[in-house]
A and B are shown apart, each in its own frame.
Chain A
Amino acid sequence: MTQAHMTRLDATTALLRLLDRQPVLSNLGGNSYDLLAAGDRPENFYTWGAMGSVSSVGLGLALSRPSLRVVVLDGDGSLLMNLGSLATIAALRPANLVHIVFDNRMYETTGGQATHTARGASLTAIGRGAGLTQVEDVDTIEAFSRAVGRALKDPGPWLIVALVDASASTSKIPRRPIYFKDRFVEAIRSQ
């Protein structure tokens, strides 16, 4: 099995360097903590619960605002909880959706229990099987940045599965979901 050559925080930092004001939606747990550490911005929407739902929230936002490139930061455990969303995204084909999965092969927040990607499940194969065609598998920061750079320009929907180290999360978010939601809606309304 391939080894990870990047941390999730380094990848998230690289992502933010490539972005202007595009919205970023992160799933609960480590992805949200690292997104905050990499750079809090009004265009970030952190989810706090409803594990697995972030790819679907991204789909709805992408369909409602076709002129915005929408970035979703998912996790392997989260996506495994909502695999049907890959088939729905493939069926609706929003060209402006960039679905990034940080795969650390574990449920980090709950103590590091293995997810099924640690035992052979391939999220890129599942994505292709769901009907997605713009699918990338990356395990270095350089390959990640290249894939994201393409996905921000070329028509999607994109699925980028990035193998990352199981590094500990680096920040805790102030839990004010309604404030962050209102801030996000204001920030993208004017775009």
Chain B
Amino acid sequence: MKDWSAALVQGLKANGIEFAAHVPDEVTARVLTLLEADPAFTVIPVTREEEGVAVLAGASLGGKRGALILQGSGVGNAINALASLCIGSQIPLLLIISERGRLGEFNPVQVPLGRAIPRIFEALGIQSFWINRTEEIGPVLDGAAGLAFASSLPVALLLPTTLTGGKRLK
């Protein structure tokens, strides 16, 4: 597998994203390490995904672009802030989501939310895009950042296990 993590971090940087909030995740561990090592990024570990949405909303008010890096299960924790803070007040950010509950899932309780996420985003009017191959990361990130910051709305990027390798059963 090519280095999708490095491509992702490069894409964030190329689009002027300077703030990255996250709740740790095995799949994006290397992304977080690369972000931490790069002084261009302010990295904010948060206790819960909704908190991350709000921190990035504040950074946006201060003129900085942000991305929240989260596991699919965390989308459920972020919905109220996405709806009533970001969409309600038109505050943009990118959501970078490593999928759970879909291809290759080993944990049955991850499935209900994982399979619902595309329809949850659709119901909220949040546009979401899958990135299936490493070569797509640059162009899709460019497009998603353009869309999010032109429309002043959250936009989601979904990283399937076919791109990332997913979380392994230990």
Contact = CB atoms under 8 A, between A and B. Distances in A.
Interface of A: 25, 45, 47-54, 56-65, 68, 82, 84-85, 87-88, 91-92, 177-178, 180-181, 184-185, 188-189
B84 A48 contact: yes
B89 A88 contact: no
A56 B85 CA distance: 12
Instruction: List the 7 closest A-B pairs by CB distance, nearest first.
Output: A60-B58, A49-B84, A84-B47, A64-B62, A56-B54, A53-B54, A57-B58
A180 B88 CA distance: 12
Interface in B72-91: 80-81, 83-85, 88-91
B147 interface: no
Interface string B27-61: 00000000000000010111110111111111111
28 contacts: A25-B58, A48-B88, A49-B83, A49-B85, A51-B80, A53-B81, A56-B54, A56-B55, A57-B57, A57-B85, A58-B58, A59-B58, A60-B56, A60-B60, A60-B61, A62-B58, A63-B42, A63-B62, A64-B42, A64-B63, A64-B64, A65-B63, A82-B48, A88-B44, A181-B91, A184-B61, A185-B63, A188-B61
Given A61-B61, A61-B62, A181-B89, A88 B46 contact: yes
Interface residues of B, number: 32
Contacts, number: 115
A98 to B, nearest CB: 14
Interface of B: 19, 42, 44-48, 50-64, 66, 80-81, 83-85, 88-91
Given A57-B61, A63-B42, 20 more contacts: A49-B84, A50-B80, A50-B83, A51-B80, A53-B50, A54-B54, A57-B54, A60-B54, A60-B57, A60-B59, A61-B59, A64-B42, A64-B60, A68-B62, A87-B47, A88-B44, A88-B45, A88-B55, A178-B90, A188-B61
Nearest to B56: A60
Contact of A88 (B51, B57, B62, B84): B51
| Chain A interface helix/strand/loop/mixed | helix
B44 A92 contact: yes
B51 A82 contact: yes
Given A58-B58, A59-B55, A188-B62, A50 B47 contact: no
A88 B19 contact: no
A5 B18 CA distance: 44
A64 B151 CA distance: 21
A56 B64 CA distance: 15
The CB with the most chain A CB atoms within 10 A, among B51, B53, B66, B88, is that of: B51
B20 to A, nearest CB: 12
A50 B84 contact: yes
Nearest to A189: B63
A60 B85 CA distance: 14
B19 A48 contact: no
A177 B85 CA distance: 9
Contacts of A82: 48, 50-51, 54
Nearest to B58: A60
